[in-house]
Amino acid sequence: MASGYLIRKNQYYDSVFLMRVARALSDEPGVRECAVVMATDANKELLAGLGIRAAEVSAARPNDLVVAILANDEALIARLLGEMDARLTSSSQAVRAADYRSLEAACAAQPQANLVVISTPGAYAGREARKALEQGKHVFIFSDNVPLEQEVELKQLGRARRRLVMGPDCGTSLIGGVGIGFANRVRRGPVGIIGASGTGIQEFTSLIHQAGSGISHAIGTGSHDLADAVGGITTLMALDVLGADPATEVIAVISKPAGARTLELLQERIRRCPKPVIGCLLGLKTALDAGPRFVQARTIDQAVERTLAALGVTSALLLRMPRKEKGEEIPPRFPGEEGRGVRSPRYLRGLFAGGTFCFQAQQVLWDAGIPVYSNTPLDSRYRLTNPETSLEHSIIDMGDDHFTRGKPHPMIDATERRKRILQEANDPEVAILLLDFILGEMAASDPVGDLIPAIRQAQESAARRGGRLTVVASVCGTDLDVQGLDRQKAMLMEAGVYVLPSSAQAAEFCRDLIQRGEGGRDG
Amino acid sequence: MDDLMALFTGPLIAINVGVRDFGLALEQQDVQVIYVDWSPPAGGDQEMLDLLDQLL
C-alpha cells in the first residue's frame, strides 16, 4: 500500500472540523485509511501507527496540520493531497474575519457577554476558563482531561466571584431554554435539573418533555464535581440557584456516585432547599437522609416519574409516557436459542455512546445478579483487560478515552461503533445487541441511519450461522430535535430492532431476556 | 440582582473558544455569539507556555 502526507505549518483547525474533512476524505473511492489531525504528541503516535514516521512529521507542533492518506494508488494520493488546501479553505466553517484573536479581545469588544463556552484541548482549557472568570464571565467547559487541581482552583474562583463553572467535562446545560453543548430541544416548564452527566441530563429532560412537562434550567456540573477533591462546588451553587428561581418548582439531581464527604454536604444542602428534590445518584446502594422533601430514585426513569409525581401531575399525564412500545412484543423464546453451534449464543453486548447509559445498564443487570464486564465497570473485578475484546455479558462505553483518543466521539461519528457492531456479530456466542442513540444539538445528523447498515449486516451474519441476533435500542431525544425522534425510531423498528422508550427500559428489557433464557431455555 | 441569578434571567450572550460548532448551535437558538479564533498558545509548546504563565 502507498501512503502520502502533507504538513501545513501554523494552520490550526478544531477537532470537529477536522473530523468532517477526514470523513469526506475517507469516503473517496480508493482511500484505505486517512488522518487529518493537528500534530499533537498523541496524534503523531496515531500517524506512526499508520506508518507515517517521517522526521518532519515528528518535528511538527500542535499548531501544525498533518494530512495523511493510505491507498493502493499513488496517483490518487497525490491528487487528493493536491486538492487539500482547496478543501480546507472552501469550508463554510472557515474562520471569519470578525473573529477575535484572544478571549481578552472578545471580552473587550462585547462587554455584555455573560457566558464563555470552552472546548479547546484539555491542557489549555483551564487557562482560558481562568481568564473568563477573571473577566467576570460564567463558563461552560466541554473540554475533558483538565487536571483536577485546576478544576478545584477554577471552581473556588467561581464561587468567590459568584460565577458558575459548568465543567470541565460538561456535555450539556440548558439555561433559560437555550441548550448549550449536546442538548435536546425541550419545552420550558417547572422542572430544574442539576447533572454531573451530559447524557443523564439529555435523557431526563427529553423524558420530561415527552411526558408533557418542561424544563426551567438544566445545569451541567461536569463529571468530577461530586468527587471529594472538588466538593460539589457547582452542584451546591446550582441547588441554591434553582432553589431561589421562581420558575423552578421541583429540582432533580442526577449523578454517578459522590464522594462520601461531598454526599454529606449534598444531603445537608438538600435538607435546606425549600423545594422538593429528586435525587438519582446512579450506583449508590444506600438510602440518603436528606429531609422530608427529598425523594430518591434508582434510575433516570424513576427520577422522571417521581419528579412528575412531586409536581402533582395527574395520572393521565403520567400515562402519556409510553411504557413499552415495540417492547410489548417480547421475543417468544430466548433469542439465542435457535443457535446451532456447539457454543449456543447467549451473551449480551451493549455498545454505548452515552457514558451514563452504559453505567445505568450495568446497574440494571447487576441489580438482577447478572455479572457484566465493561471498560468502565461497576465492579472493578469485571474490567475488560482489553476494551477491544468483549467477554461474556459486556457493556462498552464507546465514548471512553480508549475509543476517542484521536477519534471523534460516537455521538458525532458512528465509525467506531459500526466496526464494533460487526465485530460482536461475528462472535457466535452473542445473542443480544444493546444500543443507544442520542439526538439533539451537536449530535450526528442521522444517528440511527448511520448504523442501520451495520445492524442489518450483523443480523444477517447471525442468520447465516443459523441463529438470530436480537437488537434492542433506545433513542434519547424529542420531537423538536432536528433529527426527529419518531423518524429515528421508525428506522430502527423497520430493521426489526426492539425500541424501548428509555435507556433504563432498554436495559431492563435485556435483563428480562437474559433471565428468561437462563431460567427457561427449555420452555 | 445577584450576578449568579442574572445568568438565569437575562439573555445569553456567548463567547466561543474552541470547536466552532458549539457557537453555531447557540446561534441556531438565536443566541448572539462571538468567536475567538483559538489556537494553542506558544505554538503548543508546554514549556514555553509554563514560562509565559509565570511571567504574566
Residue A398 maps to which CATH number? 3.40.50.261
Q: Is residue A232 part of a domain?
A: yes
Q: Which domain CATH number covers A81?
A: 3.30.70
Is the N-terminal amide bond of A168 cis, ω within 30° of 0? yes
**pLDDT recorded at residue A340:** 41
Closest listed residue to residue A442, CA positions, set A201, A180, A197: A180
Question: How much is the CA Rg of chain A, to the nearest whole Å?
Answer: 24
Note whether A225 and A358 are same-domain residues.
no
Q: What is the mean pLDDT of chain A?
A: 90
Q: What is the ipTM of this complex?
A: 0.92
Cα(first)–Cα(last) distance of chain A, in Å?
Answer: 54
What are the φ/ψ torsions at residue A193 (nearest 5 degrees)?
A: -135, 145
Nearest to A12 among B7, B32, B39 (CB): B39
Same domain, A229 and A254: yes
User: Do residues A14 and A116 both lie within one domain?
Assistant: no
Which pLDDT tens digit goes with each residue over A486-503? 999 999 999 999 999 999
**Chain A residues with CB-CB distance to B44 below 8 A:** 38, 40, 61-63
* Residue span of the structural domain in which A491 resides: 326-519
A308 and A334 fall within a common domain? no
For residues A465 and A495, state if they share a domain: yes
Among A residues 295-334, those touching chain B with beta carbons less than 8 Å apart:
none
Are A438 and A182 a contacting pair, CB within 8 Å?
A: yes
A34 in Cβ contact with A22 (< 8 Å): yes
Residue ending a domain, choose from A284, A319, A354: A319
Residue given cell 452515552 in the structure block: A354
A237 and A361 share one domain: no
Cell digits of residue A224? 468530577
Domain end marker among A90, A111, A146: A90
CA distance B9 to chain A (A): 7
**A179 has a chain B CB within 8 A of its CB:** yes
Residues A172 and A476 sit within 8 Å (Cβ to Cβ): no
Class of residue A292 by CB neighbours under 10 A (exposed 0-12, middle 13-18, buried 19+): exposed
- Sign of the four-CA dihedral A198, A200, A203, A209: negative
Closest by CA to A306, choosing from A382, A210, A208, A375, is A208
Q: Which three cell numbers stand for residue A91?
A: 469550508
CB A499 within 8 A of CB A475: yes
- What letter would DSSP give residue A336? G
Residue of A nearest to B3 (CA): A162
Determine, yes or no, domain membership for A98: no
Give the residue from A69, A90, A111 where a domain finishes: A90
Helix H or strand E encompassing A70: strand A65-71
Same domain, A301 and A347: no
A244 with A163, same domain: the answer is yes
Fill in the amino acid letter for A484: G
Same domain, A115 and A81: no
Q: For each of chain A's 523 residues, which pLDDT tens digit applies?
A: 899 999 999 999 988 889 889 988 988 999 999 999 999 988 999 899 999 999 999 999 999 999 999 999 999 999 999 999 988 887 655 556 668 999 999 999 999 999 999 999 998 999 999 999 999 999 999 998 899 999 999 999 999 999 999 999 999 999 999 999 999 999 999 999 999 999 999 999 999 999 999 999 999 999 999 999 999 999 999 999 999 999 999 999 999 889 999 999 999 999 999 999 999 998 888 899 999 999 999 999 999 999 999 998 864 444 444 444 444 455 544 444 444 443 467 899 999 999 999 999 999 999 999 999 999 999 999 999 999 999 999 999 999 988 887 778 899 999 999 999 999 999 999 999 999 999 999 999 999 999 999 999 999 999 998 888 999 999 999 999 999 999 999 999 999 999 999 999 999 999 999 998 743 333 3
Residues A389 and A412 in one domain: yes
Same structural domain, A411 and A503:
yes
A233 and A359 share one domain: no
Task: Say which amino acid occupies A56.
Answer: E
Q: Other C-beta atoms within 10 Å of A387: how many?
A: 20
Distance, first Cα to last Cα, chain B: 33
Which of A54, A53, A16, A55 is closest to A38 using CA atoms?
Answer: A16
- Give the orientation angle of helix A355-367 with respect to helix A503-519, to 10 degrees: 30
Q: Does some domain include residue A97?
A: no
- A441 to B8: CB separation less than 8 angstroms, yes or no: no
Number of domains in chain A: 3
Cell reading at A411 = 455521538
Residues from chain A that touch B55, judged by Cβ atoms under 8 A, are none
Does residue A96 belong to any structural domain of this protein?
A: no
Determine the Cα angle at A311 with ends A308 and A316, to 5°: 55
